[in-house]
Amino acid sequence: MNSPAEVVEYDPRWPLWFTEIHTRLMPYLTELPHRVEHVGSTSVPGLAAKPIIDLDVVVPSADVVPAAIERLAAAGYRHEGDQGIAGREAFALPPDAVHYHHLYVVVDGNKAHRDHVLLRDHLRTNAADRERYAERKRELAYLLRTDRPAYVDAKGALVEELIASVPLLKFAA
């Protein structure tokens, strides 16, 4: 399955896709303390995005991470390490993936988890910043076909600005 290389208008099916992916994960995560959160742009109603569902498997502590990695491997995911973001373990899709998605394991409340939740929640409640972010992604969309890391880097400053604008007191995992 190829990674989508376009920014599209919000699709109301995205929460349903999240639910489908989550449902497929559940049998592999039973008896493991966790919750699964829809994060990323597709979790923000009204936000233009790449049609890629981002999911965080949130575990209570670092000592649960190896078990989560092992169980996701049994589900067909391939562990790819932190991909340069400390505290976030990334996975490649299984061959039978139903929708293109990014799957991460994070520890509840760590920086990687906080950043995902703070950005998501801020964009859900702040229409002006949601539109600023959408516009930036539209401007950079041409990079998705030729230089995806440049796309991520180019929107990074705005992401950091938006996260920094949210008081940490608003973080409630």
Q: What do you get for the CA distance between the two ends of the chain, in Å?
A: 32
Place of tokens 């938006």: 162
Residue pair 150/143 in contact by the 8 Å Cβ criterion: yes
Q: pTM for the whole thing? A: 0.92
DSSP 3-state assignment of 79?
A: strand
Residue-wise pLDDT for 70-118, tens only, equals 999 999 999 999 999 999 999 999 999 989 999 999 999 999 999 999 9
